[in-house]
Amino acid sequence: MDLKADIYPLIFEKADVAFPELQLVRVGDGWQSPLKLDGSQPKQRRKDKTVMTAQYPGNLLEQGGERLSLFDYIQRRDGLDNKATIEALKALAGIDGTYTPPPRKQKPTPKRETTAEAMAEVRDFTSTYLQWVRLAIPVDESPACEWLKARGIDPEFASFEGVSYFDSYKIGDISTETAIKSGIARTKSFNKPFIIIPYVWKTKVWGLQCRQIDPKGFRNTWTKSLFPYGLEACRNKSEVWIVEGELDALRLNYEAQKNHLDIGAIGIPGSAPPRMDIAKYLRDKKIYIAMDADDAGRKNANGTITALEGLGLDLNIINLPDGQDITDYLGA
């Protein structure tokens, strides 16, 4: 008897009965709930705050929050040990039998990656970036101008930082296919106007972030987080703020320059802490960690603290008002 093959599919078919506290409703071939995984109401009401899908019947996904297996959810909800959790799942599925756990895979001991090792794995994007920038529209003369201003970022400052604007991926002689092959773009359907934010380290471009001029979302074109955005500019600063994402770092760096403050900001991608060993560039600096005040931001903050603690750094945590990021806090 297997959890994924035998137990989870049976529980999925009667999830509303198995988890009455979540108020799940059948929608299509899945389930939706207006509640968070802890049973509380979200601040922004929506019918699909928590979902279960036929593709992943053994998972409960809280939109903008965490994903839990049914095993983890039952164990957390009822405070059970592993054996009791298995019995509870069998009872919910309505089956008897002996559960045989799959053999455990031995995980290799994680190794802290050095700067040299990490850089050896990624290509130098400098030539590709410069090729594209020759065809770009200066960001302070583009439709992105008002988009940046709405986020409190001066377009001239953004342009100075290497931010560039494009109407679409098909520019001049560079086709969408060429862009995808070169690593600039990663989806053929990505045709909205966008800005490119370069990740610069020692005068070279080691990564590019493309962000759609659209409030609904953005796309990362280079998903390996070799180092956080803005680290180069922080090397000679006495105070460093670690925030979530490039635009928040760009905004904070702009405020520091405008007010003549000895502050630098670096942006950690929301998905994971940086791979590069950055501790040596942050020693003897006062460091403030100010991630977004939501579930994903708090998870990112914990990951960043875990990556940096125990390295002799002066770490300080800033708790922003609930639901805000540093741009919201500063006032757009």
pLDDT in tens, the chain (332 residues): 677 888 899 999 999 999 999 999 999 889 999 998 888 888 877 888 889 998 889 999 888 778 889 999 999 888 888 888 888 898 888 887 665 555 666 655 545 445 555 455 555 666 666 666 666 777 777 878 888 888 888 888 888 888 888 766 554 455 555 555 555 555 544 556 778 788 877 777 777 777 777 655 444 444 445 667 888 888 889 999 999 888 899 999 999 999 999 999 988 876 556 555 677 788 889 999 999 888 888 888 888 888 787 778 888 988 889 888 888 888 85
Q: What is the CATH number of domain 225-332?
A: 3.40.1360.10
- Among 232, 227, 284, 230, which residue's Cα sits nearest to residue 253? 230
Tokens of 261: 């403050």
pLDDT at 175: 56
Q: Do domains 112-224 and 225-332 have the same CATH topology?
A: no
Which of 171, 193, 192 is closest to 182 using CA atoms? 171
Q: Per-domain residue ranges for the chain?
A: 3-93, 112-224, 225-332
Domain 3-93 has what CATH class? alpha beta
Q: Which residue has the tokens 């320059």?
A: 257
Q: What single-letter amino acid sits at 166?
A: F
This prediction's pTM: 0.58
Helix axes 82-93 and 70-78, enclosed angle (nearest 10)? 110
pLDDT for 239 equals 94
> Which runs of E-coded beta strand occur in 11-167?
25-27, 30-33, 50-52, 59-62, 67-69, 137-138, 164-166
Supply the pLDDT for residue 192: 65
CA distance 145 to 139: 6
Query: How many beta carbons lie within 10 A of that of residue 21, not counting itself?
Result: 11
> So what CATH class is 112-224?
alpha beta
